[in-house]
Amino acid sequence: MNKESIKAISLFCGCGGADLGLIGGFNYLDNYYKHNPVEIVHASDIDPKAINTYNRNFSHKASVDDIRDLCFKEVDADLVIGGFPCQNFSTVNPTKKPEDRKNQLFWELARVVEETKPKVFIGENVRGFYTLKGGLYFHLAKDRFEELGYKVFHKLVDVSLHGIPQKRKRIFMVGVREDLNIENFQFPIETHGVEGMPSAVPLKSVIDSLIPDDPKYYFSKRAVEGVKRAKPNMKRAVYQNLEEPCLTITSHLAKVSLNSRDPVLLVNEKKELYRRFSPLEAARIQSFPDNFKFVGSQGDAYRQIGNAIPPVYFWKLINSINEQVFDAPYKQAQNIMKRALEPNSYPLL
């Protein structure tokens, strides 16, 4: 990697899932994700509880701010990242109002890009942002970034194909400033669950025991009886197969239901024992290392974990960007120097 630090602005940083991947230097499932030459010059989020967790885990500190109150015209940045709030594009949110411009915070991400003119920006959101109303909101964002002078590449990514034990699909946008002349950008290649690659990482790889440390994680007998009385068309006790990746971890794991597609575990079928995931298990499913500490109540932790970007995938993404964009001129110069030193490297006159 280029020895010079990449200066990054992290917007909607939450508890720091993307930022951990951005910086690197962590272990996950017996793999070490090395440090990246990245300096985060600004990180912020509107949620003070998420910022408490962020500041517990990073040496640089994030601030509690509403992006609409911030100005970055004097900030020097090579990279701007932002997983802007997704609730208003979620397919499972019955109260969403995506047509309300104040809920479309990708405009604010675009404003920061316009103010800082970074070489690269990264945007992330739920699949609904990409598909809702025929992709209307996705194309609004894409068109705006293109107006600002960026070539925009995108991919709907399933992180279970990248060594993470979770079926989680998210849309990623990578914008590269046009003057850098990057004609094509390759997202990280799938390493699991595709032909010629190892199988997807199973849920059991992050579950130490089906028997929880605390009985509070069990669903009550009343909840189980309620499932039996549920209407036939309702999702009933859809427990996870330990041999496969888990369903998507969401922000409301503290209030999971047996009458939904919320991921739960079956501990004992004969005794009808079901339980929810612990925060540690949920964090592992999201690819957080065990030494990442969540501040606040368990409900706070579940929300922060469910809203996070999986660090392992973001680490892979920033490495792909570094190799294809930030390191490209550096490597090109190295190759020119190498050829110049080789005998007969120039044609004879």
Domain ranges for the chain: 6-193+293-335, 203-285
CB atoms within 10 A of CB 112: 22
Write the class of the CATH domain 6-193+293-335. alpha beta
Q: Across the chain, what does the average pLDDT equal?
A: 89
Is residue 86 among the annotated active site residues?
yes
- Looking at the predicted structure, is the pLDDT value of residue 254 above 50? yes
- Looking at the predicted structure, is the pLDDT value of residue 339 above 60? no
Measured CA to CA, the distance from residue 116 to residue 41 in angstroms comes to 12
DSSP characters over 8-72: EEEES-TTSHHHHHHH--EEETTEEE---SEEEEEEEES-HHHHHHHHHH-SS--EE--GGG---
The answer to whether residues 18 and 312 touch, using CB atoms and an 8 Å cutoff, is: no
Residue in the block written with tokens 């990279």: 79
For residue 348, the model assigns a pLDDT of 38
For residue 233, the model assigns a pLDDT of 58
Annotated catalytic residue within 13, 15, 86, 246: 86
Confidence band of 83 (pLDDT split at 50, 70, 90): very high
Measured CA to CA, the distance from residue 245 to residue 143 in angstroms comes to 35
Confidence band of 203 (pLDDT split at 50, 70, 90): very high
